[in-house]
Amino acid sequence: MSESVSLPALGESVTEGTVTRWLKNVGDRVEVDEPLLEVSTDKVDTEIPSPVAGVVEEILVQEDETVEVGTALVRIGDGSGAAAPAESAPQEAPAEEAPAAEEAAPAEPVPAPTPEPVAPPEPAPAAQPEAAPEPEPEPAPQPAAAPQPEPAPSAPAPAAPVPAAAAPAASAPTGAEPSGGAHAGGGYVTPIVRKLAAEQGVDLDSVTGTGVGGRIRKQDVLDAASAPAAPSAPAAPVKLEVSPLRGTTAPASRLTKVMSQRAVESMQQTAQLTTVVKVDVTKVAALRDKVKADFQAKTGNKLSFLPFFAKAALEALQAYPIINSTFDGETITYPATENLAIAVDTDRGLLTPVIKDASTLDIAGLAAQIADLAGRTRENKLKPDELAGGTFTLTNTGSRGALFDTPVVFLPQSAILGTGTVQKEPVVVTVDGQDAIAIRSTVYLALSYDHRTIAGADAARYLTAVKARLEEGAFEGDLGI
């Protein structure tokens, strides 16, 4: 007696999976919880263990095929049925080819003679001399074939194999189409492989598939992505423009003098420390991709990651006000509002315009304020009071590609949060109690703080709250559109 093993649910929103590799073959012995195959979904790549012990009798889904959750993948039994599928396979193939051959046979100009459609096949080898004169009346209606009676019987012999070879060729595409979409290169690509190719920047038309029927497999894409560039077309080296400031001397601007003085005072008067966490922002990235076009159409502003980071940071400040506090050496003051300073890089230097009472704003409000203040800062159109009153600073160091840095706290504030660049990388995730590797969008958050009043545990609690909010990714109700 055999038992079928089906594709299990690999996550709440996962509805299908692609078989990437079978770890067992028909006839192999498998134990309980021993890996049977590898499956890839849009969220995780994992191994499927066997829920029973026995012998693999039949593999129901081939490699690179995509099936829905609950689909039977393999039959496992005591081994008595393992030979049956192997013997039945060749019997089924001719059964499918037979109708194709019958359909192709009538299309031939020289079919078997009508008087004896069945009997001639067995006597054919012995009665070839008698069969030779019989085809002569059939080519007779064709005027051009009349002067050549002998070549006529020899023509059907080579013509016979043609429909037999054409039948399987015609049936091949119909059997391959359900397992994936065709591409210009002639292979068949599953959704998972196509998505991987897009992520790796691989042109599928340039990839030679090694799967069944020439289908492109996941490993083919990875091999193409890791292959060295063709030496025939070397990339031109990036030429940096030489600055005209080389070899010159210039007086420092007033802004530079003020900023340098404040930086030195901050480092001398405070005990600064930086704590860093790594955050999985895959859900935020998915939400952003989903709504950014609609968001821009309704608000007129592009939707970046920064408003999401700001929203999470402001909510955590309300729960941990010590991060938003000020210290004068004698007393600690906890402001009643969160006034968020945004670091803006200008050609004159770094400036930090302030969004007053920022915690009352939604994502759309924060995006609008950030865009407005950054634009007017770079155009030198800010009012003096828009640069004062900040209680906490957010600096997007990732806008220039940095993973993270250790930003400097500016007095009288006690902390500053730096956000690094968002990048995709392989991450170990746990799905249904099983560890697997998946491609995730991640970012580093670095919190610099005054260690005189903010303990390391305070910083860790604050960052953990920000991390949890971003990884949850539930900002649909806070978009403001």
CATH number of this structure's domain 254-478: 3.30.559.10
276 Cβ neighbours under 8 A, 6+ residues apart: 404, 444, 445, 446, 447
* Residues 3-85, CATH architecture: Beta Barrel (2.40)
Average pLDDT, the chain: 79
Going from N- to C-terminal start, the domains of the chain cover 3-85, 254-478
- Specify the range with the lowest mean pLDDT, choosing from 24-33, 131-140, 408-417: 131-140
249 Cβ neighbours under 8 A, 6+ residues apart: none
What is the C-alpha to C-alpha distance for residues 349 and 343, in angstroms, rounded to an integer? 10
Domains 3-85 and 254-478 belong to one CATH topology = no
Q: Contact 312/361 with Cβ under 8 angstroms?
A: no
What is the C-alpha to C-alpha distance for residues 338 and 341, in angstroms, rounded to an integer? 9
266 or 97, greater pLDDT? 266
pLDDT band, very low/low/confident/very high, at 382 (cuts 50, 70, 90):
confident
What is the C-alpha to C-alpha distance for residues 419 and 445, in angstroms, rounded to an integer? 5
pLDDT band, very low/low/confident/very high, at 229 (cuts 50, 70, 90):
low
387 Cβ neighbours under 8 A, 6+ residues apart: 351, 352, 353, 354
Examine the pLDDT at 391 and tell me if it is beyond 80. yes
- Specify the range with the lowest mean pLDDT, choosing from 65-74, 143-152, 179-188, 368-377: 143-152
- Which range of 113-117, 215-219, 352-356 scores highest in mean pLDDT? It is 352-356
pLDDT of amino acid 470: 98
255 or 326, greater pLDDT? 326
pLDDT of amino acid 440: 96
**What are phi and psi for residue 177, nearest 5 degrees?**
-60, -40
